[in-house]
Amino acid sequence: MLASETGIESVTPSISFSQFCLEKLHEVIDGHTNDVAGLRLQIMRRTPEGFQHVLSMVEDGAQDKIPDDLVVSIENIKVYVPIKDAKYLDGLKIDFEEQDEGQSGLEFINPNPRWFDDREEAIQQLFDDQINPAIAGHGGMVNLLGVDGEDAYVEFSGGCQGCGQANVTLGQGIETAVKRFVPGIDRMVDVTNHAEGTHPYFKPSQASHAHAGGSCGCSPDAGCGCGAQH
């Protein structure tokens, strides 16, 4: 089945918790002030060392905001999984590790590669080495969600989420670079919910401030990137 939003193939992942981990999670859930619908498991980013996983609580009612997530039930705990992460969480084992000096935390044992498709790995490398360092100065980041056919699906975050210039960055910068270095990619598709951006580098929804040559549409409180003298 293909996810309607991204076109990325989805599978219901097999996820397991150690018994000790389950006990700890039930303690946290039972002790939470508000009712808990379940947990949400996500891959936040990929690094050369592998995945960065996040497991967070979903309070009752908040699950309505993630209606497209897959749901895996494990020992009376509902685990919500974004479709884009599903196949990369298949076979994941989660343990609770107590460390020295009272420190403890979750341990994620993920058998999957960073990407299954060589093109995805090549795009990720390009993002890590060139694209994200270049847009980091604007407080932004672009994340690869996956490749389906000849389409690469991406999502902006940080200062690039809600940015009025995101389509320019994607079309004239990122897409051009990807097509040059990664064969078999015809189109970059942005599936970012830009309406939820909180601190974009440009905020076109706010009143434009004027300068010689016209209005640039950028936000004074976020820092103007137009290069004009204000």
Domains in the chain: ranges and CATH: 15-109 (2.60.300.12), 118-215 (3.30.300.130)
In angstroms, what CA-CA distances link 216 with 118, 129, 134, 139, 141? 40, 30, 21, 19, 22
Task: Tell me the C-alpha to C-alpha distance, in Å, between residue 126 and each of 84, 130, 172.
Answer: 20, 6, 15
Do 188 and 147 meet the contact criterion of CB atoms below 8 Å apart?
Answer: no
Segment 94-138, tens digit of pLDDT: 999 877 666 678 999 999 999 999 999 999 999 999 888 887 877
pLDDT of residue 70: 96
Average confidence score pLDDT of the chain = 79
pTM above 0.85, yes or no: no
How would residue 165 be classed by pLDDT, with cut points 50, 70 and 90?
low
Whether 182 shows a pLDDT value over 70: the answer reads yes
Q: What are phi and psi of 198, to 5 degrees?
A: -105, -35
Distance, CA of 138 to CA of 162 (rounded, Å): 12
Euclidean distance between CA atoms 216 and 132, whole angstroms = 24
Q: What is the pLDDT of residue 8?
A: 59
> No. of H helices and E strands in the chain?
5, 12
Q: What is the pLDDT of residue 58?
A: 97
Q: For residue range 200-225, what is the model confidence (pLDDT) as tens digits?
A: 444 333 333 333 333 333 333 333 33
Residue 22 is inside which H or E element, if any? helix 19-30
How far apart CA 174 and CA 127 sit, in angstroms, is 9
Q: Is 148 exposed, middle or buried (0-12, 13-18, 19+ CB in 10 A)?
A: middle
Using the 8-state DSSP alphabet, how is residue 207 labeled?
A: P
Position 194 confidence tier, pLDDT thresholds 50, 70, 90: low
Rounded Cα gap, residues 100 and 10, in angstroms: 39
Mean pLDDT over 83-100 rounds to: 91
pLDDT of res. 196:
55
